[in-house]
Amino acid sequence: MTVKPTILQELPPDLVRERLPRHVAVIMDGNGRWAKQRGLPRIMGHRRGVDALKDILRCCKDWGIQALTAYAFSTENWGRPLEEVDFLMTLFERVLRQELREMMEEDVQIRFVGNLSALPKSLQLEIERAMDQTRQNKSIQFTVATNYGGRQEIIQACREIARKVQQGVLQPEEIDETLFEHHLYTDGISDLDLMIRTSGEMRISNFLLWQVAYAELYVTDTLWPDFDRVEFHRAIASYQQRDRRFGKVKV
């Protein structure tokens, strides 16, 4: 078997290791357009999208980025044609089954976030299995937002907190940002540093609404299936040039 040389396997010398984002999120937009441009069915774009995601995940690990969160399916995506939705559900399941061994070998911890109870039962079982098996893995935290909505995430956190107040185990005065964050799906993951959106749209689309508060945004016209390490390098280089002030002024 010939091993394809991977471009940019090591951290490129122009990037500063100490200033890498710890947590990157991606809105993987443009799969459908990528396929259409080639006269292919939309599902082919999703297939190629998986390849792109795998490479970016491996790249994050190679370069020492601790966490990657990908928007795979939004609560609004149920409105797509039934056959596309079915294809995506089957794709998630197949990818999970096929990639689990490699995720173990590469020490990837995978978690799925969102309203998972509405997903097909067979997919839920595959998700549970992958999350259980990779729970102790340490090299990178890979989070897949599926049937995810940022507003819905905030509401479920509010409900959980309200329940605790009702039960008397929590006082309203104890509710602060840190406590709130412990009730979000991203509990245990570093603060979001960089959100990348492909295919040019300047929207957050209900993704990580709380977490994006102080993240840097990077939008590229490149369609997701074409988003490779060269593109990712550009995104990180742009991030490293930003002056992150978190609302303060420099003295």
Residue placing its CB nearer to ligand FPP in the complex, 36 or 183? 36
Binding mask 147-186 for ligand FPP (x = CB under 6 A): ----------------------------------------
Segments of 3-158 assigned E as strands:
23-27, 67-74, 108-113, 140-148
d(CA 112, CA 185): 9
**Among the residue ranges 15-23, 69-77, 119-127, 176-184, the one whose residues contact ligand FPP (CB under 6 A):** 69-77
Question: Do residues 175 and 196 lie in contact, with contact meaning Cβ atoms separated by under 8 Å?
Answer: no
Q: Which residue minimizes CB distance to ligand FPP? A: 32
The structure tokens 């492909």 sit at 198
Q: How far is the CB of 223 from ligand FPP (least distance, A)?
A: 7
Taking the CB of residue 229, how many other CB atoms lie within 10 A of it? 18
d(CA 105, CA 99): 10
Taking the CB of residue 58, how many other CB atoms lie within 10 A of it? 18
Residue placing its CB nearer to ligand FPP in the complex, 66 or 74? 74
Residues in 87-116 at the binding interface with ligand FPP, rule: CB under 6 A: 92, 95
Question: Do residues 138 and 107 lie in contact, with contact meaning Cβ atoms separated by under 8 Å?
Answer: yes
Q: How far is the CB of 30 from ligand FPP (least distance, A)?
A: 4
User: 157: which 2 tokens?
Assistant: 């956190």
Residues in 27-66 at the binding interface with ligand FPP, rule: CB under 6 A: 28-33, 46, 49-50, 53
Residues in contact with ligand FPP by CB under 6 A are 28-33, 46, 49-50, 53, 70, 72, 77, 92, 95, 144
